[in-house]
Structure 1
Amino acid sequence: MMHLPNLPLALLGCSFQKTFRVLTILDQLSMMRSFFASNIVTCVGQIIGIVVADTHDNAKTAANKVHIEYCELPAILSIEEAVMIGSFHPNTKKCLVKGDVEQCFLSGACDRIVSGQVHVG
């Protein structure tokens, strides 16, 4: 944890390991996920910490004092490339279910169907 004047609290992922329940895009699915990146940052915009301060300026000052060292990893630029090298988010296999897709659609159990691709950056 970081200690600065006028800074009540600064939490960085490397300081502790805490998981929180996060609902996925499908309301029926939920899994435990780490709230902060701790050792490896896996995507642009991933949360590495939270700064709580008495003023906005003090929070910005504290945030600017955080030093993070990144080592560059090979870029994965498409879903196809990720599939080829087996790069997937952890626990995705735990939430996948095999079965008759058409029967699921007809049963009404699939009230939300999401398809397409997501791109960041």
Structure 2
Amino acid sequence: MGNQGEEVLMAAYKSSNFTGGCLEIRLFYVRIASCAVDVVSDHLILRHLRREMGVSLEINGCRIPASITVSITLRRDRVDKGSSEITYVSTDNVRVSGPVEFEVHEEKEELILCGSLERVEGT
């Protein structure tokens, strides 16, 4: 995750015990098709952005205060020159108790995609 300063800061917060209703993500991947696979980055940056008040975010057992924007590194996992596809992956354990927005950037801060994550209750 991010730089060393961020890791030290996050380690200062105790792990919380989430109770039911949380979304747990154990694998996050991005597959990009139709790209020039010879000139791709070795990693992408996934940033967890805004959260609603009261929404908890925990990464690898460390609770993240709502005032902090945290980043996770997505490492290059697979390059398929035949189909011009590349896959980036992170196995960091992410838990959220409500909706959270995210963005994926290249090293040069170029936005690749954005979205939101939220657990949907079964009917």
Q: Which has the higher contact order (CA 8 A, sep 6+)?
A: 2
TM-score by length of 2: 0.22
From the two aligned structures, give the one with the greater strand fraction.
2
TM-score by length of 1: 0.22
